[in-house]
Amino acid sequence: MSGSSPNINSTNTPFVFGTYYKRRYRPYFTKRQLATIDQLNGQSMKNTQTLASHGSSCKFIQQVGKRLGFPQTTISTSQALYHRFYLYHSIRNFQPLDLCITCLFVGSKIEETIKRLKDIYIVAHSVRHPKSQELEPDEIPEDRIRRINEYEKLLLETLCFNFQIKHPYEYIVKFARHIQELQGLDGKQLAKKAYSLAVDSYRMTLCLEYPAHTIAAGCIYLASKLWQQEDSKFGGLDKNESWEKRFLSRLEDVKDVGRKILDYYISKPNEFGPSIQYMQIKIQLNEETNNNISSDKMMMTNNQSAINVNNRHMDDPLMNEQTRMDDKWEPNQLPSYDVDLLLNTNTHTVSYFLNPLQ
- Rounded Cα distance between 120 and 116, Å, is 6
Give the tens place of pLDDT for each residue, 124-136: 999 999 888 888 8
* Residue 22 pLDDT greater than 70, yes or no: no
> In which band, very low, low, confident or very high, does the pLDDT at 328 lie, cut at 50, 70 and 90?
very low
pLDDT at 46: 59
- pLDDT at site 5: 41
Per-residue pLDDT band for 41 (boundaries 50, 70, 90) equals: low
pLDDT above 70 coverage of the chain, percent = 72
Q: Taking residues 2-28, what's their average pLDDT?
A: 51
Share of the chain above pLDDT 90, in %: 43
pLDDT for 6: 43
Q: Which of 56-70, 141-155, 186-200, 290-304 is the least confident region?
A: 290-304
3-state secondary structure of 195: helix
CA distances from 136 to 25, 80, 101 (A): 39, 29, 17
pLDDT value, residue 121: 95
CA distance 309 to 315: 8
DSSP string spanning 274-286? -THHHHHHHHHHH
Q: Which residues contact 158 (CB under 8 A, 6 or more apart)?
A: 84, 85, 87, 88, 89
- Higher confidence at residue 255 or residue 238? 255
pLDDT digits (tens, 9 = 90+) for 214-244: 999 999 999 999 998 888 778 778 777 788 8
Per-residue pLDDT band at 43 (split at 50, 70, 90): low
Whole-number Å distance between alpha carbons of 208 and 31: 10
Question: Is residue 308 classed as helix, strand or coil in its secondary structure?
Answer: coil
Residue 102 has pLDDT above 80, yes or no: yes
Q: Report pLDDT digits (tens) over 282-305.
A: 888 888 777 665 554 444 444 443
Q: What is the pLDDT of residue 117?
A: 95
Ramachandran area for residue 112 (φ above 0: left; ψ -120 to 50: alpha; else beta): left
Find which of 48-57, 211-220, 279-288 is predicted with most confidence, using mean pLDDT: 211-220
Do the Cβ atoms of 191 and 172 come closer than 8 Å? yes
| Confidence at residue 2, expressed as pLDDT on a 0 to 100 scale | 39
**Which residue ranges form the domains of the chain, and what is each CATH number?**
1-30+45-165 (1.10.472.10), 169-304 (1.10.472.10)
Q: Report the largest interatomic distance among the alpha carbons of the chain, rounded to a whole angstrom.
A: 74
**Which pTM does this prediction carry?**
0.75
Please say if the pLDDT value at position 12 is more than 70.
Answer: no
Q: What is the pLDDT of residue 270?
A: 86
pLDDT number for residue 60: 97
- Is pLDDT larger for residue 169 or for residue 335? 169
User: What is the pLDDT of the chain when averaged over all its residues?
Assistant: 77
How confident is the model over 171-183, as a mean pLDDT?
91
pLDDT of residue 149: 94
How many angstroms separate the CA atoms of 135 and 119, rounded?
A: 10
pLDDT computed for residue 353 by the predictor: 41
Say if residues 352 and 340 touch (Cβ distance below 8 Å).
Answer: yes
Q: What is residue 68's predicted lDDT score, i.e. its pLDDT?
A: 95
DSSP 3-state of 350: strand
Task: Please check the confidence at residue 321 and state whether its pLDDT lies above 50.
Answer: no
Does residue 346 surpass a pLDDT of 50? no
Q: What is the DSSP letter of 136?
A: P
- Cα 6 to Cα 4: distance, rounded to the nearest angstrom: 7
Q: In the 8-state DSSP scheme, what is residue 347?
A: T
